[in-house]
């Protein structure tokens, strides 16, 4: 009887284990299906939200672009100058000029309009509100220009700092046997950790040459996009070397030495200006604190002496 009970218990445990082994994969499969459906739904929702945001941005850009075209429809010379400024700031989209003028117009109108909406909540007099509207409108008109100028100067500083090292790499590549076009491609890859802006400009120059532009034209475009005197002298040297058939490697080495000397001179100039720049913080912030610390106890001591004299 005991053996029969033991066999029944073993059989029950075996059947229970087999049932769990059969049910567990089904449950895991159901969980995987549920999780995949949730992930798919979340991904579809994310894609839908991205499409909606993209459509809204496209509608806004279209509206701003149309507004900008109407603002600068007849002034082609101004569009060319603004296009050059945008290129120096890193904006190369074909519709960047229209977006730029449209954004300036929208800010010049939108900011005063928002101030008009909020003006009933203010207790300021009407002349002051009108003056605020004019000031906010001018600020909205000037903000994009100030942003573009600041970004262009930052890119110019980045290109200026990377130019001597770029010339050294270019000289090394040319002396190793590479042609100027292949050297530009290699240097654009190597200079990327140092300056992304310089790498982009060299890449664009090489793409223009591949697209069919002459090397001199591509180098002139490179000089115009950067707006730097050092880059202009470099491109002029390369154009003359290509035209007269002289050694590019020797010309690059001489120019690289010149750029290195200029970088050292700029560093020395910046170091010489440090003392003058530190003068104003010292006079305005450091010296008053030193005077308080040094003369403070003496002032209190003198005040106590005069007080005792008056009492006596």
CB atoms within 10 A of CB 214: 12
Rounded alpha-carbon distances, angstroms, from residue 143 to 77, 97, 114: 22, 15, 17
* CA 255 – CA 239 distance, rounded (Å): 13
- List the one residue out of 185, 191, 195 whose CA is nearest residue 168: 191
Class of domain 157-270: mainly alpha
pLDDT for the residue numbered 55: 66
169 by Cβ neighbours in 10 Å (0-12 / 13-18 / 19+) ranks as buried
pLDDT for the residue numbered 257: 85
* CA 220 – CA 233 distance, rounded (Å): 10
pLDDT for the residue numbered 58: 64
Tell me the pLDDT tens digit for each residue of 119-148.
665 666 667 777 877 888 888 888 888 999
pLDDT for the residue numbered 293: 82
Listed in sequence order, the residues at least 6 apart from 72 whose beta carbon sits closer than 8 Å to its beta carbon are 78, 79, 97, 98, 101
Contact at 8 Å (CB) between 165 and 144? no
- Under DSSP, the state recorded for 10 is H
CB atoms within 10 A of CB 144: 19
Tell me the pLDDT tens digit for each residue of 73-85.
656 777 788 888 8
Contact at 8 Å (CB) between 156 and 227? yes
Contact at 8 Å (CB) between 159 and 231? yes
pLDDT for the residue numbered 60: 61
pLDDT for the residue numbered 9: 60
Angle between helices 96-118 and 126-175 (to 10 degrees): 150
Task: Tell me the two tokens of residue 137.
Answer: 């409108």
For 146, phi and psi rounded to 5 degrees? -65, -40
- Under DSSP, the state recorded for 119 is G
pLDDT in tens, the chain (312 residues): 565 555 556 656 565 555 555 555 555 666 666 667 767 766 767 766 676 677 666 666 666 666 666 666 656 777 788 888 888 888 888 878 888 888 888 888 877 887 777 666 566 666 777 787 788 888 888 888 899 999 999 999 889 888 888 888 888 888 888 888 888 888 988 888 888 888 989 999 888 888 888 888 988 989 888 888 888 888 888 888 888 877 888 888 888 888 888 888 888 888 888 888 888 888 888 888 888 888 777 777 777 777 766 665
- List the one residue out of 83, 144, 153, 75 whose CA is nearest residue 108: 144
CB atoms within 10 A of CB 115: 16
pLDDT for the residue numbered 82: 85
Largest CA distance in the chain: 123
């Amino acid at each position: 009887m005991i053996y029969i009970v033991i066999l029944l218990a073993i059989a029950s445990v075996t059947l229970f284990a087999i049932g769990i082994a059969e049910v567990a994969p089904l449950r895991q499969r159901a969980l995987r299906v549920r999780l995949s459906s949730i992930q798919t739904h979340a991904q579809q929702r994310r894609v839908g939200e991205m499409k909606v945001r993209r459509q809204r941005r496209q509608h806004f850009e279209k509206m701003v672009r149309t507004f900008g075209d109407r603002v600068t429809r007849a002034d082609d010379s101004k569009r060319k100058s603004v296009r050059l400024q945008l290129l120096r700031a890193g904006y190369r989209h074909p519709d960047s000029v229209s977006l730029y003028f449209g954004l300036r117009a929208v800010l010049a109108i939108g900011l005063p309009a928002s101030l008009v909406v909020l003006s009933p909540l203010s207790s300021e007099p009407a002349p002051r509100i009108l003056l605020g509207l004019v000031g906010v409108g001018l600020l909205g008109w000037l903000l994009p220009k100030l942003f573009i100028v600041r970004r262009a100067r930052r890119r110019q500083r980045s290109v200026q700092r990377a130019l001597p090292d770029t010339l050294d790499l270019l000289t090394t590549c040319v002396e190793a046997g590479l042609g100027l076009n292949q050297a530009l491609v290699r240097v654009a890859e190597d200079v990327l950790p140092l300056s992304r802006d310089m790498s982009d400009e060299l890449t664009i120059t090489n793409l223009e040459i591949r697209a069919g532009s002459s090397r001199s034209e591509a180098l002139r475009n490179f000089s115009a996009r950067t707006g730097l005197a050092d880059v202009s002298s470099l491109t002029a040297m390369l154009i003359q070397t290509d035209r007269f058939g002289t050694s590019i490697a020797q010309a690059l080495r001489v120019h690289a030495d010149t750029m290195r000397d200029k970088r050292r001179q700029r560093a020395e100039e910046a170091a010489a200006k440090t003392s003058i720049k530190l003068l104003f913080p010292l006079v305005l912030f450091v010296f008053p604190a030193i005077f308080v610390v040094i003369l403070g106890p003496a002032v209190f001591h003198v005040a106590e002496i005069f007080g005792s004299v008056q009492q006596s």
